[in-house]
Each structure stands twice: as C-alpha cells, then as structure tokens.
Amino acid sequence: MDFAFTPEDEIFRRSVREFAVQRLLPDYRRWDRGEALPREIIGDMASRGFTKLRLPADYGGEGASFTQCGIAAEELSRGDPNVAMLILNPMVVGEIAHLLREEFKGQWLPKIANGAVVGVDSTEPMAGSDAAQLRTTARLKGDYYEVNGEKSSASFTGFMEFSIMFVRTGPSGSRGISCIVVPMDLSGISRQVYRSPGGRATQRGSVFLDDVRVPALNLVGEEGAGFNIMMQQFDFLRPLLGLMGVGAALKSLEETVEYVKQRQAFGQPIAKFEGVSFELAENFTMVEAARLMAYKAFFLKDQGQPIPKEGAMAKWLCIQAALSAIHSCIVLHGHYGYSEELPLELRLRDVLGYEIAEAPPQILKLIISREILGRGFLPHA
C-alpha cells in the first residue's frame, strides 16, 4: 500500500493550494456578506483546469484521476469551501458525457471547460433522500419536453447557466425518472435564492419550471435511466464533499496551532497546557483518519471499483471530524474565535451545510449498513 501522492499529484496539490490561499482566502468573507462571486474568479479557476478535471480531452477537459479531483476539492477548501463547490458539477458532466447527444457535446462541453456554471438538481420539496419520489414532470411533445415542477436546495441557483436535471418521464418509482439538460435562459423558468446560514456564495435556492420547453435532444441517455445515473454520481460526490470539509478543518487547525503558540496565559504559551495540546492532537488524528478514508475511496474508484460503502463512510467520517475540529478551534481561540474577525465561525457554518448535501448522516449510515448486512435487512426492503 502506498500512502503518498505521485510526483505529478504533489505538484498539482501545491499549485491548487497556492491559488486557494492567495486568490480565494483573502475574499472568503466578502462573498458570505452578500457580494456576488465575480466571474473573474470562475475564469481563473477554468484557466487552471479546475472546472474541467473529468471532462473529455476532446472537448477541452483534463481527464484527471479521481484522486486529483479529491486533491482539488481539499486544497481549494483551504481558501473557500464555497468556491470549491464549483468544481463538483462539471465532474458529474464528465461522468455522463458519453451519454450526451453529439450535438450537445459540441455545444456545451467546451463552455463548461471554460467556466460555464452548471447545476445538478434532483432535490425537491417532497423528494430529498427518497429520490425515487420526485414529482417534476417532463412530457414529450414532438421534438421537445414540456417540464413542470420545482427543484429545491439547488446550488448556484442565482447564476447557473444550465442544469443537469432529474425529472419524471414515466410512472411512479425509480424507473420513471430520466435525466435532461435544461438551459436556464428558457421561457418559463424562475428562481428564488434562499437566505442560508452558510454556503452563501453558492446562492442555493429553488428553480420553478412552468411549461418549459426543453429540446428532446437534451435527454441524457435513455428515458427511465435517470435514477441509475443519479445514484452513480452520488458515490463519488460524497467523498469530494468530505474532503472539502477536511480542507477547511486542516486550515483551521493550522491557524490554531500558530495562535496557541503565541497566546499567553499564566505566564506561558497555552500550547504548553495538555488541555490545549491534547485536543489539537485528537483533532489532527481524527481529521487525518477521515482524509485517508476519502482517498481510499478515490483509489478504489480509479481502479474501476464501485464505492457506495466507501463513499458514504468517507463523507460521514470527514464531516463529523471536520465539524468537531473547527468547533474546537473556535473554543481554543476563546472569545476571539467566537467573532467575525476570524474565518472559523464561517467555516463551521459552511461545513455544516455539507452534512446535509448528497445525503445526511442517517442516509449515509443506511447505505453503509446495507452494504454490510445486505439489502434484505433494509427497513424498506
């Protein structure tokens, strides 16, 4: 077993970290306070290849490994975990690119490679973890689908240019779900951005569709294949979200190490007190263990193996470890940590949102137990 990155991966890691710390971290607070994320930042990310990691090389993509995708998610989150979210959905597009019509590939894939913002939208008001119950409909009428419904908790609602949307084209249940690409400038689409406690730069919100005409060529794969497409994407998105939490936590821990070396109490640095040093030791250990779980999932994925259990394990463990670590960092900073002078409380709010994204802890544990015990022991089997 080799726990080291390749030389190429290490070069990539250093370049992503440099960008995150120099370009993203100084403005992290600005986007949380309501300023719109400038297109210039997205353009900078595209020019460095971050928005096209899994896109096909024929359409401007990098063809990166899943391990490299994990590196990008972790390192970007040291600067701004919200901006790091921008690399996730293009990865989904890369994974389903072989299912797109040739006309669509040439039209959209180069745009994504150059920074066009895409959403991946399955959640609805009455269909979250139970994704097979979504109600947004797409009725085929000649050469277009007429789409009606609402997508909720959609990242980038305020500024995405098109959505990889999961819709109902058939009867109830998972077999009636299809995947379709919806350009967001079509007539009949309206949007509402939420007032969220964290993740504000992503402009999470609802998308409303009222008799929206989507070209039939925008169907991804075949009708009825959408549920399987959706589930396959969740498996690798989960450890990516986990590593985003890890990146934010490690940056917080490193900042706290420097603080406790300087902060004086009772005539000496507080780093000398075991109540401080042991807590840091525990958090570094747990975050590193979670980090390795995520990279194990990506190692397996790069070998072509399925990772439903490992992906769920990684996301659950990473987010739990990250939240605990960031919380500890706030406490170790005292009243200074519980303020907006430092990014600690902001990271805590942002990472808390990842605990819900792509399945909350309860669903992750259900997936893990299913893989251990078998489907016959599911509560809804």
- The CATH number assigned to the domain holding 181 equals 2.40.110.10
**pLDDT tens digit sequence for 19-78:** 999 999 999 999 988 788 889 999 999 999 999 999 999 998 998 999 999 999 999 999
Same domain assignment for residues 239 and 359 = yes
Indicate the SS3 state at residue 149.
Answer: strand
Final residue of a structural domain among 92, 113, 134 = 113
Task: Specify the pLDDT at position 130.
Answer: 83
**Residue 205, token pair as written in the block:** 């919100």
Task: Specify the pLDDT at position 226.
Answer: 93
Task: Specify the pLDDT at position 138.
Answer: 97
Final residue of a structural domain among 98, 113, 128 = 113
Task: Specify the pLDDT at position 367.
Answer: 95
pLDDT level of residue 169 (50, 70, 90 thresholds) = very high
Residue 161: alpha-carbon gap to chain centroid: 18
Q: Are strands 264-265 and 268-269 parallel, antiparallel or unpaired?
A: antiparallel
Provide the residue range defining the domain that includes 300.
Answer: 227-377
171 occurs within a structural domain? yes
CATH number of domain containing 86: 1.10.540.10
1 occurs within a structural domain? no
Same domain assignment for residues 214 and 285 = no
Task: Specify the pLDDT at position 299.
Answer: 96
Same domain assignment for residues 145 and 77 = no
Same domain assignment for residues 175 and 244 = no
138 occurs within a structural domain? yes
Mean of all residue pLDDT scores within the chain: 94
Residue 288 has pLDDT above 80, yes or no: yes
Same domain assignment for residues 310 and 336 = yes
Same domain assignment for residues 85 and 157 = no
Question: What is the C-alpha to C-alpha distance for residues 266 and 291, in angstroms, rounded to an integer?
Answer: 36
pLDDT level of residue 118 (50, 70, 90 thresholds) = very high
Task: Specify the pLDDT at position 242.
Answer: 98
Task: Specify the pLDDT at position 381.
Answer: 55
Share of the chain above pLDDT 90, in %: 87
Final residue of a structural domain among 224, 248, 275 = 224
Same domain assignment for residues 134 and 180 = yes
State the CB neighbour count (10 A cutoff) for residue 23. 18
259 occurs within a structural domain? yes
Same domain assignment for residues 135 and 181 = yes
Same domain assignment for residues 282 and 208 = no
Average confidence (pLDDT) over 370-380: 88
Same domain assignment for residues 253 and 322 = yes
237 occurs within a structural domain? yes
Domain count, the chain: 3
CATH number of domain containing 349: 1.20.140.10
Same domain assignment for residues 65 and 135 = no
Please tell me the chain's helix, strand, coil percentages from 3-state DSSP, rounded to the nearest 5.
55, 15, 25
Same domain assignment for residues 218 and 231 = no
**pLDDT tens digit sequence for 305-329:** 999 999 999 999 999 999 999 999 9
Task: Specify the pLDDT at position 74.
Answer: 98
Which residue reads 């739990």 in tokens? Answer: 320
2 occurs within a structural domain? no
